[in-house]
């Protein structure tokens, strides 16, 4: 099992390999590649590897900055991911949209079964924030999500603001239920 120090070294090494194009991402995500590298080297589950990555990046602001720089290099600068969808044929666009629409509904249905309401509210709020960032800064959703996570790891106050907003949502829902 990889400890935090070994995990930190693994993240740094993996980012360096990605940055220098010594790893084939096959069009995949930088963050996912780092998570799967941790998973493979540590024997952890994917979720535990993702949690370890988040802990490492939250603790080390310099590494967090390096991480987001590599994400931006690959996703935004080199791949220019935001512009690929408009160039597809309509049939391809429709197929893509239908598949991902179904995936989102399936995921939310699963969340309703296995997660608490506050986790679901946080997930929906973070998704909205990622979407807004993607639209306003002109990047793909995945890159915008990584930018958002970078910001949340960098400034704990942002997480407090999100928790406060969720509490206000819950209060409003309770008041609506009381009226009914």
Task: Report the predicted TM-score, pTM, of the whole model to 2 decimal places.
Answer: 0.64
**Number of residues that this document lists for the chain:** 180
Q: Going by C-beta distance under 8 Å and a sequence separation of 6 or more, which residues neighbour residue 11?
A: 34, 38, 53, 56, 57, 63, 67
Average pLDDT of every residue of the chain = 86
Report the alpha-carbon distance of residue 102 to residue 115 in Å, rounded.
Answer: 19
Q: Give the E-state strand segments of the chain in sequence order.
A: none
Q: Give the pair of three-digit tokens for residue 2.
A: 């990889």
Question: What is the largest distance, in Å, between two alpha-carbon atoms of the chain?
Answer: 60
pLDDT digits (tens, 9 = 90+) for 13-63: 999 999 999 988 887 888 889 999 999 998 888 888 888 898 899 999 999
pLDDT digits (tens, 9 = 90+) for 118-162: 888 888 999 999 999 988 887 778 888 989 999 999 888 999 999
Of residues 88, 101, 100, 152, the one with CA closest to residue 126: 152
């Amino acid at each position: 099992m990889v400890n935090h120090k070994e995990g930190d070294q693994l993240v740094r090494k993996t980012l360096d390999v990605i940055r220098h194009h010594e790893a084939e991402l096959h069009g995949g995500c930088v963050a996912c590649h780092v998570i799967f590298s941790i998973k493979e080297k540590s024997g952890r589950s994917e979720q535990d590897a993702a949690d370890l990555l988040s802990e490492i990046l939250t603790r080390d602001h310099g590494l967090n900055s390096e991480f987001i720089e590599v994400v931006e290099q690959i996703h935004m600068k080199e791949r220019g991911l935001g512009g690929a969808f408009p160039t597809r044929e309509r049939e391809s666009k429709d197929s893509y949209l239908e598949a991902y629409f179904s995936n989102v509904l399936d995921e939310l249905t699963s969340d309703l079964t296995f997660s608490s309401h506050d986790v679901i509210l946080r997930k929906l709020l973070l998704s909205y924030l990622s979407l807004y960032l993607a639209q306003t800064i002109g990047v793909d959703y995945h890159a915008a999500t990584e930018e958002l996570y970078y910001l949340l790891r960098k400034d704990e106050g942002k997480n407090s603001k999100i928790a406060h907003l969720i509490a206000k949502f819950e209060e409003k829902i309770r008041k609506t239920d009381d009226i009914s």
